[in-house]
């Protein structure tokens, strides 16, 4: 397709200058541009294809250089970015120095928050609405030049606990506040729970009145005078479906309009132009089709939610295949556990495919669940199962686990209940960037008394870690593994079982110049680096396996010999595995100056390939080689000289 309109959109001002009959062609070009680029680099395809018309209408009606637009999750932001002048950046989608896959204020003033976790939009929008009002900058009939506020939320995100809390408070706003509910009947996969069923009934029920009649009846009961009633009657002329007679959102104090057709641009524009001047909190419910515009994305929106690079030839879609991923390895191992032990249960929070749990759902549907985007609930539900004597596994991305930390603390660890956390995407995740890195799971879970924290380096070690977790009933356990293919470097060796707090030697040296304690997959890179340095340094490499408890006897033995230690981890240095090793050394009375640490630096690492990110963090082959040399050069040194500390004196003479 030859693009004739999209390349000329340098800001929403250009969009507003187009004739109305040009907008369907613009939507077609935007879909083509997004689909073509995602075929090359991968990215969130189906979510973005489904909201093209919605964002055309939103930017046509509002001025988000002045008004406020808050995203929930943000993976559906590609159309928004194209309409705000970022089409030239699309060619480097999710790549280093290119267009990020999520909103990012450093990329554009049209992005207010860097977001990537569900449930946040309504709360942040409520805060901005209140802030603008307090500063005298909020829109009202008395201040028509003020800022309006719009929160863009999906039907899966709306069930998140934070969304519920946000709605509860948003309903108390005494000003304009618009929630655009993008209801495509899908989450990452099929949405879960009673509210999803409610939306299904709302979309298809024939027991509701016509939109025009319903809108009039609803608005007639609203305090606010003739102006609001007039707006309500206009809504009846532009919406396509219904207004619920007993709207769920009105229980929170928000008016509810819709569902309307989320792909009918003229109706969307007229509806938004109407509701933007309602001086009360309001939900505009738009029904969209996830993956809209292409048969293969509409037909399998789950598979093309976060698509890998692929090629479309006629009716065939060929996805570029990689190796055997840790996610797939986990799904296979989980099914094996459930086959052998009928007390094992499992769940995921809207990431059944992304974590590999879908395999268990298909084989053991009575013992496996997808809770929807509700990590806190999932953790507590699993804790409840543990209380009944079951052996629950909660598979969750490391970046989302922290949303359930309070439940890991209160309902699992504090109770001594064996919640089992399987932390996918631990470490650096590539194109999704900073919003999705799993960089702090060790540091936060280490604080829980009795917690057992593990890492896997390949598929056999992952299976052994899961088997250890299955039989460990004394408290919370966790195993972390990356968004990567499993490495088969050690496939010809026997993988020993996990024993509490014990490391395994991967490369021995009788008189080592430095001993590497590596936590997780960096252990394999450490072997390569040690081989590279073979003629220069003697390097011994251990698979640490545990960040809590660490192998204290091994640490003591190494330090007693006067040999430097290098710790390596794909995790923040602050509070991570290396910190645990230093804590153990100090607790045993040893000088920790012989310990060098390598891990994620104290700064954000943005989108790019996983290899580029590892290099930036100094965790690629070159970086680890450099760290080995630095560690080998560590020697005991005298303490630094005392520095006189200035003393505070009284100002009164």
- CB 184 within 8 Å of CB 290: yes
Instruction: Select from 418, 438, 500, 497 the least CA-distant residue to 463.
Output: 497
Measure the CA–CA gap between 481 and 424, rounded to whole angstroms.
Answer: 6
Could you tell me whether strands 452-455 and 504-507 are parallel, antiparallel, or unpaired per DSSP bridges?
A: unpaired
Give the three-class secondary structure for 303: coil
Active site residues: 290, 375, 403
Q: Which two tokens stand for residue 364?
A: 């053991």
Alpha-carbon span 407 to 429, nearest angstrom:
25
- CA dist 516 and 628 (Å) reads 8
Name the maximum alpha-carbon separation found in the chain: 89
Provide, for the chain, the percentages of residues in helix, strand and coil under a 3-state DSSP scheme, each rounded to the nearest 5.
Answer: 40, 15, 40
- HSE-up (13 A, CA, CB side) for residue 307: 31
For residue 7, the tally of other CB atoms under 10 A from its CB is 11
Angstrom distance (rounded) from CA 254 to CA 126 = 13
Determine contact, residues 330/456, Cβ cutoff 8 Å.
no
Radius of gyration of the chain (CA): 28
Whole-number Å distance between alpha carbons of 287 and 526: 51
Per-position DSSP letters for 166-177, written without gaps between them: HHHHHTT--S-E
- Cα angle value 583/588/590 (rounded, 5°): 85
DSSP H/E element including 151: strand 149-154
- Rounded distance, CA 53 to CA 287, Å? 11
CA angle 338, 340, 341 (to 5 degrees): 65
Q: How far is CA 217 from CA 207, 251, 476, 552, 560, in A?
A: 15, 17, 54, 72, 82
Compute the residue count for the chain.
653
Stated as kind and residue range, the H or E segment containing 34 is helix 23-41
């Amino acid at each position: 397709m030859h693009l004739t309109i999209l390349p000329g959109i340098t800001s929403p001002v250009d969009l507003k200058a187009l004739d109305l009959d040009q907008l369907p062609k613009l939507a077609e070009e935007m879909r083509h541009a997004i689909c073509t680029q995602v075929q090359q680099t991968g990215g969130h395809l189906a979510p973005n294809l489904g909201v093209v018309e919605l964002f055309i209408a939103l930017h046509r009606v509002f001025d988000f250089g002045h008004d406020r637009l808050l995203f929930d999750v943000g993976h559906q932001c590609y159309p928004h970015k194209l309409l705000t002048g970022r089409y030239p950046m699309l060619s480097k989608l999710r790549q280093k120095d290119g267009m990020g896959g999520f909103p990012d204020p450093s990329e554009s003033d049209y992005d207010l928050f860097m977001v990537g976790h569900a449930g946040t939009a309504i709360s942040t929008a409520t805060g901005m609405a209140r802030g603008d009002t307090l500063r005298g900058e909020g829109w009202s009939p008395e201040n028509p030049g003020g800022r309006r506020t719009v929160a863009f939320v999906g039907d899966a995100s709306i069930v998140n606990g934070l969304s519920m809390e946000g709605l509860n408070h948003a309903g108390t706003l005494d000003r304009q506040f618009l929630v655009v509910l993008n209801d495509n009947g899908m989450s990452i996969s099929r949405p879960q729970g009673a509210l999803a069923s409610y939306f299904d009934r709302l979309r298809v029920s024939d027991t509701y009145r016509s939109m025009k009649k319903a809108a009039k009846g609803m608005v007639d009961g609203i305090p606010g005078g003739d102006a609001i009633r007039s707006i309500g009657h206009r809504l009846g002329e532009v919406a396509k479906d219904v207004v619920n007679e007993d709207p769920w959102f009105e229980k929170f104090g928000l008016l509810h309009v819709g569902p309307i057709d989320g792909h009918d641009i003229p109706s969307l524009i007229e509806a938004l132009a109407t509701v933007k001047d309602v001086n009360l909190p309001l939900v505009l419910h738009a029904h969209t089709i996830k993956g809209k515009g292409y048969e293969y994305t509409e037909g399998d929106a789950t598979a093309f939610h976060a698509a890998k690079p692929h090629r479309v030839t006629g009716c065939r879609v060929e996805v570029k295949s990689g190796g055997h991923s840790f996610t797939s390895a986990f799904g296979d191992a989980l099914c094996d556990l459930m086959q052998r032990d009928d007390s094992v249960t499992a769940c995921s929070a809207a990431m059944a495919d992304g974590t590999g749990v879908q395999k268990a759902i298909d084989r053991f549907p009575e013992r496996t669940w997808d809770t929807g985007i509700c990590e806190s609930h999932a953790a507590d539900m699993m804790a409840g199962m543990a209380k009944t004597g079951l052996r629950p596994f909660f598979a969750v991305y490391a970046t989302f686990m922290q949303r359930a930390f309070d439940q890991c603390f209160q309902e699992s660890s504090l109770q001594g209940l064996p919640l089992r956390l399987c932390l996918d995407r631990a470490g650096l995740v590539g194109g999704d960037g900073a919003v999705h890195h799993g960089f702090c799971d060790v540091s936060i879970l280490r604080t829980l008394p009795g917690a057992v924290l593990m890492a896997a380096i390949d598929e056999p070690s992952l299976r052994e870690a899961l088997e250890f977790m299955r039989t460990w009933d004394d408290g919370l356990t966790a195993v972390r593994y990356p968004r990567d293919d499993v490495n088969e470097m050690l496939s010809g060796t026997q993988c020993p079982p996990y024993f509490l707090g014990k490391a395994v030697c991967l490369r021995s040296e009788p008189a080592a110049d430095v001993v590497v304690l590596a936590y997780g997959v960096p252990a394999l890179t450490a072997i390569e680096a040690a081989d590279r340095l073979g003629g220069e340094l003697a390097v011994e490499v251990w698979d640490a396996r545990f960040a809590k408890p660490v192998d204290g006897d091994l640490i003591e033995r190494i330090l007693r010999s006067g040999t430097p230690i290098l710790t390596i981890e794909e995790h923040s240095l602050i509070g991570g595995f290396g910190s645990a090793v230093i804590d153990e050394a100090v607790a045993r009375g040893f000088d920790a100056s012989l310990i060098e640490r390598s891990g994620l630096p104290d700064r954000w690492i943005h989108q790019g390939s996983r290899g580029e990110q590892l290099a930036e963090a100094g965790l690629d082959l070159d970086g680890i080689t450099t760290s080995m040399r630095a560690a080998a050069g560590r020697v005991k040194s005298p303490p630094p000289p005392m520095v006189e500390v200035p003393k505070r004196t009284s100002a009164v003479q």
